A = this chain, B = another copy of it.
């Protein structure tokens, strides 16, 4: 009678895994920062105030999940968002949780 749209299990699994990957204060902060531009680890440390080892582990986790990618530049390692889907998601989140930061990006009237 009512045809509910069954979402395939593997999609649900992938989506919830993706969500879990960003559902963490520090990881989300990092993603918001990287939304602006790629950054090296110590910039991220400074901006977030996280402990080096801790941040490194979170970066590593996100890299393994394909969310971030990195590039070595001298002794620095520069991280950026690898998967545009996650950039979209984080943008959507900013719209929801920080609407005032999403209007009128620069200049005014």
Contacts and interface: CB of A to CB of B under 8 A. Distances in A.
Q: What is the interface of chain A mostly: helix, strand, loop, or mixed?
A: helix
Q: Which bracket fits the contact residues of A?
A: 35 or more
Contacts of A38: none
A7 B92 contact: no
| This chain: copies in complex | 2
Nearest to A43: B4
Given A23-B20, A101-B5, A96 B15 contact: yes
Interface in A6-36: 6-8, 11-16, 18-20, 22-25, 27-29, 32-33, 36
Interface of A: 2, 4-8, 11-16, 18-20, 22-25, 27-29, 32-33, 36-37, 47, 85, 88-89, 92-94, 96-98, 101
